[in-house]
Amino acid sequence: EAIKKANRMSGYIVLLKLYNTLVRPHLEHSSTREGPEKKTEYHLTEISTLFLFCRYNIKALIGRGSFSRVVRVEHRATKQPFAIKIIETKAKEGREVCESELNVLRRVSHRNIIQLMEVFESHERVYMVMELATGGELFDRIIAKGSFTERDATRVLQMVLDSIKYLHSLGITHRDLKPENLLYYHPGVDSKILVTDFGLASSGNKAGDWLMRTTCGTPEYIAPEILLRKPYTNAVDAWALGVITYIMLSGSMPFEEENPWGPYDGGGNCPACPCINNNNIYFYTKDFITRLLTIDPNDRMTASQALKHPWIVTMAASSSMKNLHRSISQNLMRRAAPTHRNKSTFLFVNEEKVRPPLRSSPLRIHQMTIRIFRCDTRGRCRSSNPADKHPGHQVKAPIIFFISFLFDIGPQ
């Protein structure tokens, strides 16, 4: 107890010294109107950062993104673990990501959405203290488990859909839903799922009455209307959930076949890929995926409709235990092996600099984007063709859109 009191006292002494050396002199010499006020504001942000490190003990680096790092910390008084997301705000993109995420997290309160605890700010960084999810990413958990059934998939989707329904009711569109952003809260079998990473989220004034135009997201999960640079709605989240569901039940991407557009008919239905043709898959499962992976966003299910779909309602309460783990885990590990932790995260395009498409269909543009290129966390893209080993295939992320739009890649 004496040691704890001594540690607290030493922290107070450090703060007092900082106040006396940095802030107080400027306050005492504030007869001039401009300089001291600016300096005082700057030093106060530094004191805010000092409070952060006096309150939390940094333990380890968890992850790193284009403009951010995530560290695991421990509260010095309660010993409770948290995660701190440190966002660099010197660059314009970093400030935009920070503002977007803070705007969302300060508004939301849902059991399946990561919770923001408090925020600290320095001159060049913002520190967001959040819940710590220790259960791992969705697909890592699936691979580690000994079994995975459709019932397991529907229970995961119920939690994700409920959170997306809540976000959409507030006029918030996530725009970057992917397995890497779906985390288990703890390692236990009864753990809840948390939706994370709102750096690309968009906030509207009314639910369902919000059109967006920014081209952004992760290539494998971007809806066709975004790639066509059309005004789009929160239906883009439904498309991403369709891709996630497909991968959960097959272990493979829906658009990585040799001829991914052959299975589509004129109505833009879901591709007839391994998951759809699998006899072990429930009929309603195929209908669920088909109604999410629909080219026309007006025909796509909403999160509310998806929660009431017969597959979600019946399978979540079913005792069916057909184990899909073997084929799923093999496909997931094969897919993750060459690019593990090489996450596709961040794409922005200045729309005024991109020509409109020529004769390219939504499907062909989507095919060229997700099949030819993959982007790493630095915004560099690489060819997905194993035969393409030349360094010249590494290009900046926005170039994929120029390639799609400046050349006629439609059907010959």
Q: What is the pLDDT of residue 378?
A: 36
Report the percentage of the chain scoring pLDDT > 90: 40
Q: What is the pLDDT of residue 258?
A: 44
> pLDDT band at 400, cuts 50/70/90?
very low
Taking each helix axis from N to C end, the angle separating 235-250 and 283-292, rounded to the nearest 10 degrees, works out to 140
In the chain, the N- to C-terminal Cα span, in Å, equals: 78
- Give the separation between CA 226 and CA 229, rounded to whole angstroms: 5
- Give the separation between CA 295 and CA 274, rounded to whole angstroms: 20
Nearest to 293 by CA among 342, 245, 330: 245
More confident residue, 262 or 274: 274
Q: What is the pLDDT of residue 239?
A: 97
Q: Is 85 annotated as a binding residue?
A: yes
Contact 83, 132 (CB under 8 A): yes
Q: What is the pLDDT of residue 27?
A: 39
More confident residue, 298 or 381: 298
Kindly state the average pLDDT of the residues 49-54: 82
Q: What is the pLDDT of residue 262?
A: 37
Q: With b meaning 16 or more CB within 10 Å and e meaning fewer, what string describes 357-389?
A: beebbbbbbbbbbbbbbbbbbebebbbbeeeee
Distances in Å between the Cα of 226 and the Cα atoms of 87, 219, 334, 405 are: 26, 10, 29, 13
Kindly state the average pLDDT of the residues 190-194: 95
- Give the separation between CA 200 and CA 97, rounded to whole angstroms: 6
One fold for 2-130 and 136-336: no
> Residue 51 corresponds to which amino acid?
F
Kindly state the average pLDDT of the residues 41-69: 77
> pLDDT band at 327, cuts 50/70/90?
low
Read off the pLDDT of residues 129-187 as tens digits, 9 standing for 90 and up: 999 999 999 988 888 877 778 888 899 999 999 999 999 999 999 999 999 999 999 99
> pLDDT band at 93, cuts 50/70/90?
confident
Kindly state the average pLDDT of the residues 337-344: 44
Nearest to 383 by CA among 406, 411, 403, 359: 403
Q: What is the pLDDT of residue 28?
A: 40
User: What values do phi and psi take at 375, rounded to 5?
Assistant: -115, 140
More confident residue, 61 or 337: 61
Q: What is the pLDDT of residue 292?
A: 96
Contact 85, 70 (CB under 8 A): yes
Read off the pLDDT of residues 286-312 as tens digits, 9 standing for 90 and up: 899 999 999 999 999 999 999 999 999
Kindly state the average pLDDT of the residues 319-342: 60
Q: What is the pLDDT of residue 206?
A: 62
Four-residue CA torsion sign, 313, 152, 324, 332: positive
Read off the pLDDT of residues 203-226 as tens digits, 9 standing for 90 and up: 876 655 678 999 999 998 999 999
Residue ranges covered by each domain of the chain: 2-130, 136-336
Work out the mean pLDDT of the chain and round it to a whole number.
72
More confident residue, 254 or 237: 237
Contact 249, 328 (CB under 8 A): yes
- Give the separation between CA 304 and CA 225, rounded to whole angstroms: 21
What is the token pair recorded at 321?
Answer: 């235990």
> Which class is domain 2-130?
alpha beta
Q: What is the pLDDT of residue 91?
A: 86
Read off the pLDDT of residues 243-263 as tens digits, 9 standing for 90 and up: 999 988 888 888 765 434 334
140 is known as an active-site residue: no
- Give the separation between CA 172 and CA 318, rounded to whole angstroms: 32
pLDDT at residue 372 greater than cutoff 50:
no
User: Three-state SS string across 104-117, please?
Assistant: HHCCCCCCCECCEE
- Give the separation between CA 35 and CA 37, rounded to whole angstroms: 6
Q: What is the pLDDT of residue 280?
A: 47
User: What values do phi and psi take at 70, rounded to 5?
Assistant: -120, 125
Q: What is the pLDDT of residue 393?
A: 36
Read off the pLDDT of residues 6-19 as tens digits, 9 standing for 90 and up: 566 666 655 555 55
Least confident segment among 10-24, 26-40, 73-87: 26-40
Kindly state the average pLDDT of the residues 98-123: 93
Report the percentage of the chain scoring pLDDT > 70: 57
pLDDT at residue 348 greater than cutoff 50:
no
User: Three-state SS string across the chain, please?
Assistant: CHHHHHHHHHHHHHHHHHHHHHHHHHHHCCCCCCHHHHHHHHHHHHHHHHHHHHHEEEEEEEEECCCEEEEEEEECCCCCEEEEEEEECCCHHHHHHHHHHHHHHCCCCCCCECCEEEEEECCCEEEEEECCCCCEEHHHHHHHCCCCCHHHHHHHHHHHHHHHHHHHHCCEECCCCCHHHEEECCCCCCCCEEECCCCCCEECCCCCCCCECCECCCHHHCCHHHHCCCCECCHHHHHHHHHHHHHHHHCCCCCCCCCCCCCCCCCCCCCCCHHHHCCCCCHHHHHHHHHHCCCCHHHCCCHHHHHCCHHHHHHHCCCCCCCCHHHHHHHHHHHHCCCCCCCCCCCCECHHHCCCCCCCCHHHHHHHHHHHEEECCCCEEEECCCCCCCHHHCEECCHHHHHHHHCCCCCC
Q: What is the pLDDT of residue 295?
A: 93
CA–CA–CA angle 254, 149, 131 (5° rounding): 85
More confident residue, 235 or 250: 235
Residue 268's region, left for phi above 0, alpha for psi from -120 to 50, else beta, is left
Q: Please pick, among 152, 162, 176, 376, the residue that the annotation labels catalytic.
A: 176
Q: What is the pLDDT of residue 15?
A: 56
Fold of 136-336: Transferase(Phosphotransferase); domain 1 (1.10.510)
